[in-house]
Amino acid sequence: MTRPADTLLITLTGKDRPGVTSAILGALAQAGVSVIDLEQILLRRRLVLGVLVTAPHDVKRLRRAVEGVAGDLGMTVEIEQGSGDNKARRDGRSHVTVIGSPLKASAMAAIAGRIADLGGNIDRIERMARYPVTAIELDVSGADPLALRGQLAREAADLSVDVAVQPATLLRHGVRLIVMDVDSTLIQGEVIEMLAAHAGPEVATEVAAVTESAMRGELDFETSLRARVRLLAGLDAAVIDKVYGEIVVNPGARTLVRTLGRLGYRFAIVSGGFSQITNRLAADLGIHFSRANTLEIVDGRLTGELVGDVVDRAGKAQALREFAARAGVAAAATVAIGDGANDLDMLEAAGLGIAYNARPVVREAADTSVNVPYLDTIMYLLGISREAIEAADAEDGIVTPAPPI
């Protein structure tokens, strides 16, 4: 004997207009059914509405009523009889964020293919942003998040897109601590090179060469830093004010701090640069914690030495842990963002380590990488859409330029 259907899946498709959802739910209300699940998507004014309901005693009558409403709306409807609720999502649940500029269909096809290869199922897809980058989030189940991260990281490098994989846990919805490197991450360029530019072209060239080698991990950071600082000996300390006035904050940095600040996030900057710059930068941006090296100044001039311990690779990781404790945030709820080899320990210590326009050695070691010049892209990895960001800004009177059509 065949078991009677106890649920109906009703799928409505067509041009969106006000009152569609209300009309269908009204017909279902008259039949006295209960709603088990409901999902709706909208793409360029094309609506797909799915409603899973308990089956009424008279299925044929409900079918006629729903088909009548769909006909009046100029839409198509499918009604599928079955048993039970949706299957529970399998283990191995992840959020996969894909970012491209542009994001080509071939890249999305390859990402979807690798997810399938690992036994994963894409349960839900949502666009997080369409401008200035396209960001798409996929909810995936059935694949080990670590295996998925490794596989998609390799795929992303070949496709020239950014892919982030994060386990779907409650941490994503809680307050986090964001810890950022400064030079070439929060700001454009390297402060020590900007200082060296005021010491003459020969000093500038030598400092730039040592900086690049240190960021690639070819030189011990402390040794290289002290060598570069010695080249600045005798420089007028007033140059620090000039350099601060020349600093350009990376696009999206202020939006990142402003938006996540509304949600109670805490921010820290940890730099191998200099506190005479970073402390002012933290105050300007509303950043809660700051740590950097301190240039020694005597009689108004740089001595070429540093005061106190050097904030090196290990020191950055230690600062992250200390700031997390002070903020009352678990280490797993921290996010670190950096670009150089001296950021590696900090990225490893964080719950989520992000390589931002980083050297290859850093991209390979980080949990994920972002290779577009917009720091606020980080928010898409946290499940915050561009529309939500702009709506919050609008409430505060901040106008966002309209994107191109």
Question: Which residues are catalytically annotated?
Answer: 181, 183
For residue 125, give the amino acid letter.
I
CA–CA gap between residue 74 and residue 13 (Å, rounded): 9
Pairing of strands 94-100, 162-167: antiparallel
CA–CA gap between residue 8 and residue 27 (Å, rounded): 14
CA–CA gap between residue 152 and residue 59 (Å, rounded): 45
CA–CA gap between residue 128 and residue 386 (Å, rounded): 6
CA–CA gap between residue 315 and residue 292 (Å, rounded): 9
For residue 310, give the amino acid letter.
V
CA–CA gap between residue 230 and residue 235 (Å, rounded): 10
Pairing of strands 266-274, 289-298: parallel
**Whether the Cβ atoms of residue 196 and residue 259 lie closer than 8 Å to each other:** no
Residue 222 to residues 18, 87, 121, 348, 354, Cα–Cα distance (Å): 63, 55, 47, 20, 23
SS3 content of the chain, % helix, strand, coil (to 5): 40, 25, 30
**Whether the Cβ atoms of residue 10 and residue 50 lie closer than 8 Å to each other:** yes
What count of Cα atoms within 13 Å lies in the side-chain half-sphere of residue 71?
6
Of the candidates 381, 379, 363, the residue with the CA atom closest to the CA atom of residue 371: 363
Q: Which residues contact 274 (CB under 8 A, 6 or more apart)?
A: 191, 192, 240, 292, 293, 294, 295
How would DSSP label each residue in 185-199?
A: TTBSS-HHHHHHHTT
